[in-house]
Structure 1
Amino acid sequence: MKRTYQALVLAFLSSIAVGTYSCTGDFEEINTNKTKLTELDELGTENAFAAAQYRSIQASWQTFQSLFADLQSQYFANVAQNFSSDRNVMVGNWLNGAWSGFYGTAVPALIGVLENTGPGGKYANPGKFAIANIWKVYMYLPRTDYWGPIPYSQVGNGGPEVPYDSQEAIYKDFLTTLKTSADALQAFKGTKIFGTVDQIYAGDVDKWILFANTLRLRIAMRMSKVEPALAKTEAESAVAAGVFTTNAHDAFLAVNANSFNPMNQATAWNEFRMSAAMESVLKGYSDPRMSRYFAPVPGTSNFKGLRNGYTQGELGAPENNASATSNVADRFLPAVQNATPFAIMYASEAYFLRAEGALKGWAMGGTAKDFYEKGIETAFKQWGIADAAAISGYTNGTTTPIALNDMAKTPALSDIPVKFSADPAKQLEQIITQKWLANYPNGHEAWAEYRRTGYPKLYARINSDNPDSPKDAVVRRTPFVLGEQQTNAKAVTDAIVKLGGPDKSSTRLWWDKP
């Protein structure tokens, strides 16, 4: 991960037009030289921000999200017979690719922006600096939630090794960075910064402030078991400062002919299909989003998922074939990869976070029930379901997830209905289950919340080929990558100490407490 920014800069200046970012391939792997950052002119700095946004999503989507978090969260199940990560195998070359894709292309671009727009930078601009720092938190969050300690504060230090920060230090810096950045943007409210180069909000400062506060609420909730007092303070502060309240605030990464949606591209490869968990819940609740998320089995009107963790032989069974199970809906297919924006964060999540906070007795501005129901309403409207009767009928539904007539004779995923329970023991499960449904297809967030809460009550895998994470266990993290062990060995050794347990998939992260 020790790279120069010179190749990156030259690629930007030669191949990127204002407002668009085009994939330019991998950059040369050589030692870091931060002095080359000055080769970014002001336009190149803006385009580097576009690159940081796009590359942090696209460069490793398949090997980072699709082959791990999407399967661990059970949004999808694997149908590719030669793939083993759905059986809890920590496939080294995939994780190496995910790591290098992030640190090799997204991070150098972001550092270029921060160096040039920060205090003393050649193009110092507190507004741009604040927005770039907010995005920094977003792009690093799922990485620390995979590995725990990661290189963070000293990336680009120019030295022979790059130390890892503990997850506790990273999370606490996240909170400080988000609040400081949102506060700095107050001076720019009502204006646009970065303009169309910003592929999330086209420079809308007011929305970036809401994004920062909502992300701070998410992070505070994630650490609520390990740092309850700090989590409460930060969550209440974020809500008071203003979080997402409408789908007009939703964050999506814009796409075009040069910057395609990586999920849409990947669906052409027929690697994954609807999971049994999604089938049980969506059918049990008669959820109208099922047809927005998935497509019926070809030639039928039936939606069908499959269990996670089948062996190669079991995946060869006719009922588990890609043609016999539900693919994603049309909006996620390759034909519209240049038109379907990539989902970053939804307003519905803010309501479910506030509902959980209210359950804890935090000052969220309302009751858990009200926020839970508003979260469902907002999620439905985000997927184009605005009929009040349909929303009310679903919210007050008393049906439960169903058992499946599949080769595993799969039981119902849970016994909870949608209608908010009077039983506090069931309320958290309902909130997280609905957030799981609403956050689709954001697998890395769903997996993190499953590890934190144990909800929804996902199925045990049919098989596991990983002795550290048996079929009925939860994969808690991904091990440190081989490339780092070979080139940054001392830092990895120190990182294992900071992890607080062995470098295994069964070791809990800092925030992941029983």
Structure 2
Amino acid sequence: MKSLWIKLGIPALASTMFFASCTKDFAEINTNPDALVSVPPNNMLVNILRNTAESYGGDVDGYGTFAGYIVKIQYMDFMAGLIPTNNTYGNRWYNCYYNHTQIKDLLAKTEPNAAGFKNVRTISRVWQNYMWFLLTEGWRDVPYSEALKGMPTDGSIFLAKYDKQEDIYPAVMAELKVIADEMAAGYGTDDVGDFDIIYKGDMKMWQKFCNSLRLRMAMRISGVSASLAKTTIEEIAGDPVKYPLIESNAENCYVHFPGALPYLEPWYNAGIQGKRIDNWGLSDIFIDHMMATKDPRIAAIAQKTNDNTYRGYPNGEKSGPPSLRSISWIGEKYMSDAGGFVPFYKSCETYYILAEAALLGYNVGTTAADAYKKAVTLSMEEHDVAQADIDTYLAGAGAWDGTKERIWWDTWVALFKENAEAWSLYRRTGIPSTNYPSLNSIYGTAHNDQPWRAPYPNSEYQNNKVNVEAAASKVKDFVWGEQMWWDKRTGKY
């Protein structure tokens, strides 16, 4: 990660030159006696989790548009921003690797007393692998095996090669299994408490998230690595005591925000605090689907228009609607709560995955029909839908019909705001089948699909040119070209 070392190295060099010219007493005079010499591990953990939530939770019309949820209705999206920059997608790349450096430092600091810091180390290792998952989901091939090895003790590797997604996935899944087995054998005694802004130090919940992430990754590769997918899912489902999963909405992996400046939920911060709520509307395909299926979740997901209905807008129309309020804006549950949440895993996902696994013939201890109904119910309950309306939906357009498509369509609705995961659902399954790229894309008719990846950041082209260009050799127009390893759709370009 040469770009990171350059960012760190220039300030370090400048500091050395500055202090060399100062008096010998300068450091002593200017030392704050109340400042921490070294940041405590628990404080580092807070920063890592918060940084992830702000980076990925701050996405509204990037991955949210790719997934078919959200479109711009004021400053239209013609896909001109899908180029290498150090902003937007580049920031997300940088933040992931920044988190990795922080986790690596945390683990190094606590290594001499690993037993005394067992819980904070375990949480950090789970999140470390989640970061690798987010990176490869966003960019496919990324620096992995040689990343973070710039120090002489690590090999002085400043220009990290890019590993293939096919290699990263099994490696991350193997690491998560090691952690899952360790947690099954017992937790530590250190109290992480409120420094863990997701589960407040409840290690049982982290055990569930670890196994749920394994479940998600296994299903993702079920079409390209069937054996690994099947053995992983059956191992987890076959031993719920050793490998528990997230099964209720109270267990969802969410980062909740304090709700006071400067710690506001990202969508609220952008839309309400930043007064940009009218920049975005729900897409036509999303609203049309929920209206056609009479999906009661629409009341929480979308706001009604000025003529008291729900209406979406085309992605990349030439201009915005004459009246911004004639289009449904993002629902208040998701946009108007300063102390809202950023989702990383919802309990309904567990049952959608188990339903699909059952259809594939995996032994998961439940039927596809039962798992599907459980998933739908959990998603509906999260959106405060009454039981009578849940029953009506499950007896109507949402009725189980024995197909993967029924699972996937409902998963798509349920994943709203978990935009990165919904984008991956689309790339793996082709659902929503109505999805399409900007109508007025600067690429014209060269591509008939939403982006398949995020563009590599410009800093990589500046500082790791040979390796990033080798990785991008199969990429076309920055975000198309080679599909994800697990994306086996045809007819897309």
TM-score calculated relative to the size of structure 2: 0.83
Q: 8 Å contact 1:69–1:443 — kept in the other structure?
A: yes
- What secondary structure is seen at the aligned counterpart in 1 of 2:9? coil
- Counterpart position of 2:252: 250
* Aligned counterparts of 1:446 and 1:78: Cα–Cα separation in 2: 18
Q: CA deviation at 1:440?
A: 1.0
Q: 8 Å contact 1:134–1:212 — kept in the other structure?
A: yes
- Counterpart position of 1:272: 280
Describe the shift of the 1:465–1:121 C-alpha distance in structure 2 as closer, same or farther (beyond 3 A). farther
- After TM superposition, the structure 1 = structure 2 runs for residues 118-157 of structure 1, keeping only pairs within 5 Å, are 119-120=111-112, 125-157=117-149
Is residue 364 of structure 2 the alignment partner of residue 364 of structure 1?
A: yes
* Aligned counterparts of 1:293 and 1:168: Cα–Cα separation in 2: 35
Provide Cα deviations, 1:235-293, integer angstroms capped at 9, x if missing partner.
11222322122112111102113432112212232332111122112112222211111
* Aligned counterparts of 2:200 and 2:237: Cα–Cα separation in 1: 24
Structure 2 residue corresponding to 1:111, chosen from 101, 104, 109: 104
Counterpart of 2:294, as a letter, is: S
- Counterpart position of 1:393: 392
Describe the shift of the 1:103–1:161 C-alpha distance in structure 2 as closer, same or farther (beyond 3 A). same
Q: 8 Å contact 1:273–1:306 — kept in the other structure?
A: yes
- What secondary structure is seen at the aligned counterpart in 1 of 2:264? coil
Describe the shift of the 1:466–1:239 C-alpha distance in structure 2 as closer, same or farther (beyond 3 A). farther
* Aligned counterparts of 2:389 and 2:142: Cα–Cα separation in 1: 45
Q: 8 Å contact 2:119–2:191 — kept in the other structure?
A: yes
Describe the shift of the 1:99–1:462 C-alpha distance in structure 2 as closer, same or farther (beyond 3 A). closer
- What secondary structure is seen at the aligned counterpart in 2 of 1:344? strand
- What secondary structure is seen at the aligned counterpart in 2 of 1:342? strand
* Aligned counterparts of 2:368 and 2:352: Cα–Cα separation in 1: 8
RMSD: 2.9
Q: CA deviation at 1:310?
A: 1.5
Q: CA deviation at 1:142?
A: 2.5
- What secondary structure is seen at the aligned counterpart in 2 of 1:77? strand
Is residue 149 of structure 2 the alignment partner of residue 185 of structure 1?
A: no
Q: CA deviation at 1:505?
A: 1.6
Structure 2 residue corresponding to 1:288, chosen from 284, 296, 305: 296
Q: Which stretches in structure 1 are left out of the alignment for 5+ residues?
A: 6-26, 34-38, 398-416
- After TM superposition, the structure 1 = structure 2 runs for residues 274-353 of structure 1, keeping only pairs within 5 Å, are 274-297=282-305, 299-311=306-318, 314-315=319-320, 317-318=321-322, 321-333=323-335, 336-337=337-338, 339-353=339-353
* Aligned counterparts of 2:226 and 2:36: Cα–Cα separation in 1: 43
Q: CA deviation at 1:51?
A: 0.8
Structure showing greater radius of gyration is 2
Q: 8 Å contact 1:49–1:197 — kept in the other structure?
A: yes
Counterpart of 1:49, as a letter, is: L
- What secondary structure is seen at the aligned counterpart in 2 of 1:58? helix
* Aligned counterparts of 1:379 and 1:354: Cα–Cα separation in 2: 15
* Aligned counterparts of 2:36 and 2:183: Cα–Cα separation in 1: 24
* Aligned counterparts of 1:362 and 1:464: Cα–Cα separation in 2: 43
Is residue 420 of structure 2 the alignment partner of residue 444 of structure 1?
A: yes
* Aligned counterparts of 2:117 and 2:382: Cα–Cα separation in 1: 34
Alignment coverage as a number of residue pairs:
450
Describe the shift of the 1:462–1:3 C-alpha distance in structure 2 as closer, same or farther (beyond 3 A). closer
- Counterpart position of 1:199: 197
Q: Relative to structure 2, which stretch is displaced further, 325-334 or 197-206?
A: 325-334
Counterpart of 1:51, as a letter, is: N
Q: 8 Å contact 1:89–1:466 — kept in the other structure?
A: no
Counterpart of 2:299, as a letter, is: S
Q: 8 Å contact 1:214–1:350 — kept in the other structure?
A: yes
- What secondary structure is seen at the aligned counterpart in 1 of 2:312? coil
Describe the shift of the 1:503–1:346 C-alpha distance in structure 2 as closer, same or farther (beyond 3 A). same
Q: 8 Å contact 1:274–1:306 — kept in the other structure?
A: yes
Provide Cα deviations, 1:28-80, integer angstroms capped at 9, x if missing partner.
543799xxxxx987862111111111112214654xx3232100111111123
Is residue 58 of structure 2 the alignment partner of residue 49 of structure 1?
A: no
Q: Which stretches in structure 2 are left out of the alignment for 5+ residues?
A: 13-34, 151-156
* Aligned counterparts of 2:127 and 2:352: Cα–Cα separation in 1: 22
* Aligned counterparts of 2:399 and 2:96: Cα–Cα separation in 1: 41
* Aligned counterparts of 1:150 and 1:179: Cα–Cα separation in 2: 22
Counterpart of 2:314, as a letter, is: R
Q: CA deviation at 1:368?
A: 0.8
- What secondary structure is seen at the aligned counterpart in 1 of 2:61? helix
Structure 2 residue corresponding to 1:232, chosen from 230, 233, 236: 230
* Aligned counterparts of 1:48 and 1:72: Cα–Cα separation in 2: 32
* Aligned counterparts of 1:478 and 1:4: Cα–Cα separation in 2: 19
Q: 8 Å contact 2:224–2:485 — kept in the other structure?
A: yes
Q: 8 Å contact 1:192–1:204 — kept in the other structure?
A: no
Q: CA deviation at 1:454?
A: 0.7
* Aligned counterparts of 2:400 and 2:360: Cα–Cα separation in 1: 16
- Counterpart position of 1:420: 400
Q: 8 Å contact 2:82–2:455 — kept in the other structure?
A: no
Q: CA deviation at 1:384?
A: 2.0
Provide Cα deviations, 1:419-472, integer angstroms capped at 9, x if missing partner.
1115xxxx1111011111111111110111111011121233452525497463
Q: 8 Å contact 1:496–1:502 — kept in the other structure?
A: no
Q: CA deviation at 1:185?
A: 1.8
* Aligned counterparts of 2:90 and 2:406: Cα–Cα separation in 1: 36
* Aligned counterparts of 1:187 and 1:217: Cα–Cα separation in 2: 20
- Counterpart position of 2:405: 429
Q: CA deviation at 1:123?
A: 8.1
- What secondary structure is seen at the aligned counterpart in 2 of 1:280? helix
Q: CA deviation at 1:4?
A: 7.2
Provide Cα deviations, 1:141-182, integer angstroms capped at 9, x if missing partner.
232112111123333211332222221222112211211112
Q: 8 Å contact 2:300–2:383 — kept in the other structure?
A: yes
- What secondary structure is seen at the aligned counterpart in 2 of 1:66? coil
Q: 8 Å contact 1:250–1:347 — kept in the other structure?
A: yes
TM-score calculated relative to the size of structure 1: 0.80
- What secondary structure is seen at the aligned counterpart in 1 of 2:281? strand
Provide Cα deviations, 1:348-367, integer angstroms capped at 9, x if missing partner.
01000001111100111111
- What secondary structure is seen at the aligned counterpart in 2 of 1:67? coil
- After TM superposition, the structure 1 = structure 2 runs for residues 22-101 of structure 1, keeping only pairs within 5 Å, are 29-30=8-9, 44-59=40-55, 61-62=57-58, 65-81=59-75, 83-85=77-79, 89-90=82-83, 92=85, 93-101=87-95
Counterpart of 2:373, as a letter, is: E
Q: Relative to structure 2, which stretch is displaced further, 92-101 or 120-129?
A: 120-129
Describe the shift of the 1:90–1:70 C-alpha distance in structure 2 as closer, same or farther (beyond 3 A). farther
Q: 8 Å contact 1:220–1:235 — kept in the other structure?
A: yes
